[in-house]
């Protein structure tokens, strides 16, 4: 899998999210949003290979829930059993985490290209025609740069006309 990772949300090309790494994607995405389809059914790596974000039970629960389930001393099995009962009694929900998974499917560079050009049309409409013939890496870099420049303009109070 080659980064960046690109996800197209349910609202079309303007809902494109780009992550520099799997760790960044997993850390940014929240389980309820992934479950609600905010990141689409799948995304792509930089080569157009399909990837997906999925929600799983956390391997090592943290916080109060994790403390209840963490085995202690020589009575590990007993303390874990008690912790599980207390968690159920308190109606604590198990912790969920987001994980990235590579899908077993053929690469879809044209689908990725279409999503990137759609996003570019909303940012830099005058560049769309020239972008159609660009290499995928160059197109990804152009969308990233355009997105960054637009965000900087908004932060500085300059609102460029579309």
At residue 70, the pLDDT reads 52
- The answer to whether residues 148 and 109 belong to one domain is yes
- The answer to whether residues 50 and 117 belong to one domain is yes
Whether 23 maps to a domain, the answer reads yes
At residue 10, the pLDDT reads 87
Least confident of 33-37, 38-42, 153-157: 153-157
Boundaries of domain holding 81: 63-94
In Å, how far from its chain's centre is CA 103? 14
Q: Which tops the pLDDT comparison, 106 or 162?
A: 106
- The answer to whether residues 84 and 21 belong to one domain is no
H/E run at residue 23: helix 22-28
- Domains: count for the chain: 2
* pLDDT of 6 above 90: yes
* pLDDT of 84 above 80: no
Whether 113 maps to a domain, the answer reads yes
Whether 160 maps to a domain, the answer reads no
What tokens appear for 43 in the block? 């995304």
- The answer to whether residues 53 and 103 belong to one domain is yes
- The answer to whether residues 81 and 151 belong to one domain is no
State the burial class of residue 17 (Cβ atoms within 10 Å of its Cβ: 0-12, 13-18, 19+).
buried
- The answer to whether residues 82 and 50 belong to one domain is no
H/E run at residue 5: strand 5-8
The pTM assigned to this predicted structure is 0.71
- The answer to whether residues 69 and 149 belong to one domain is no
Q: Name which of 32, 145, 51 is nearest 98 in CA terms.
A: 32
What is d(CA 19, CA 22) in angstroms, rounded to the nearest whole number? 7
Q: Could you report the per-residue pLDDT of 37-53, keeping only the tens digit for each? A: 999 888 999 999 999 99
- Encode 47-69: b = buried (16+ Cβ within 10 Å), e = exposed: ebbbbbbeeeeeeebeeebeebb
134: phi then psi, degrees, rounded to nearest 5: -75, 155
Q: Residue 147 contacts by C-beta under 8 Å, 6 or more apart in sequence? A: 18, 119, 123
Whether 161 maps to a domain, the answer reads no
- The answer to whether residues 107 and 50 belong to one domain is yes
């Amino acid at each position: 899998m080659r980064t960046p990772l690109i996800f197209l949300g349910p609202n079309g090309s303007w809902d494109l999210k780009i992550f520099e790494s799997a760790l960044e994607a997993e850390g940014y995405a929240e389980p309820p949003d992934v479950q609600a389809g905010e990141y689409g059914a799948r995304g792509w790596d930089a080569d157009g290979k399909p990837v997906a974000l999925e929600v799983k039970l956390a391997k090592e629960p943290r916080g109060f829930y994790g403390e209840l389930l963490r085995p202690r001393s020589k009575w590990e099995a007993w303390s874990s059993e008690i912790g599980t009962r207390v968690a159920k009694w308190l109606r604590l929900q198990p912790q969920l985490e987001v994980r990235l998974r590579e899908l077993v499917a053929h690469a879809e560079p044209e689908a990725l290209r279409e999503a990137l050009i759609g996003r570019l049309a909303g940012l830099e409409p005058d560049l769309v025609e020239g972008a159609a013939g660009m290499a995928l890496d160059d197109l990804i870099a152009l969308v990233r740069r355009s997105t960054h420049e637009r965000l900087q303009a908004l932060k500085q109070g300059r609102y460029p006309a579309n």
